[in-house]
Amino acid sequence: MELAHYRKLSGLTLAKAADGTGITRAKVGHMETGRYQQFPDDVAKLMTFYGADRKDVDRLASLAGSSEGRSWWAPWSHLVPDWFKTFVGLEGLAEAEFCFEPMVLPGLLQTEEYAQAITDATGFVRRDHSERFVSFRVTRAKRLTEPKPLELRAVIGEAALRLEVGTPEVRQEQYRHLVNLGKRRNVTIQVLRPEDGPHAATSGGFFVLDFAQAQSVAYAERLDGAVYVQDQDDVRTYKMAVDNLRSVALSPQQSLVLIRSLVDGS
């Protein structure tokens, strides 16, 4: 996405980029879509031709040399749509993630039993694929507990907490899981209640991913796909919504108190 961004900033077409670098037009196009593995030398050659700053040339060439987070999902590739493979690949490289989910708990925060219940209820996954898809969600959630964990900031709607997913026992275990995650230094959970008033994200849930070597990306899901926002002016708009949501929602401490109150109905 950044390669396409810098090419367009330079006013060049794919054909002119190919002519100026000796890289075929097809390969430049594939590099922009991430269809094949990126090579640092090719990335540096394109970025230099586009007139990018040296720090950006080095940053993207270094990123191209990293293989972390790219293929952990390979065992589930036949279950996961291409638009979501892109997201989990980016998530695997991200240092920090913000997510806003007004109606359902984020996948990274779900227990295995909760994930199974909600997968079965939605009907989007074939019954014979359900167990494999749940194992994919559970493996993805390990990003929160690995040696260099993802920093997650989540704002969830109170409706997501009260959604009747599975049995009461499944929901009780899910609440306990949220409380335990909320105690981790890399996880911040805030609850947004209707009585907290209006906010800037009335159009629905979204994610923002931050990276050490790449520009931030915003992401919003649709029923049959997703929208990736890479233009940094647009990403800043999403980040303004992040700040607004975090200021309107209950504090992390108040949120954990609310979640604890749901455990065993106490």
The closest alpha carbon to 95, from 217, 243, 184, belongs to: 217
Both 21 and 143 in a single domain?
no
- Does residue 76 lie in a domain region? no
Residue-range definition of the domain harbouring residue 90: 82-265
- Does residue 69 lie in a domain region? no
**Per-residue confidence (pLDDT) for residue 69, from 0 to 100:** 45
Higher model confidence: residue 83 or residue 42? 42
CA torsion 96→35→227→7, rounded to 10°?
A: 90
SS3 of 227, please?
strand
Both 50 and 111 in a single domain?
no
Tell me, what DSSP letter sits at residue 143? G
Helix (H) or strand (E) holding 255: helix 252-262
**Per-residue confidence (pLDDT) for residue 236, from 0 to 100:** 95
Higher model confidence: residue 197 or residue 63? 197
- How distant, in Å, are the alpha carbons of 34, 48, 249 from that of 109? 28, 41, 18
**Most confident option among 83-87, 119-123, 253-257:** 253-257
What average pLDDT does the segment 155-161 reach? 96
- Does residue 73 lie in a domain region? no
**Most confident option among 67-76, 93-102, 108-117:** 93-102
Q: pLDDT tens digit string along 47-63?
A: 999 999 988 888 888 77
Which residue's structure tokens are 């494999």?
132
Both 53 and 164 in a single domain?
no
* Euclidean distance between CA atoms 94 and 83, whole angstroms: 17
- Does residue 49 lie in a domain region? yes
Both 50 and 106 in a single domain?
no
Domain end among 38, 64, 90: 64
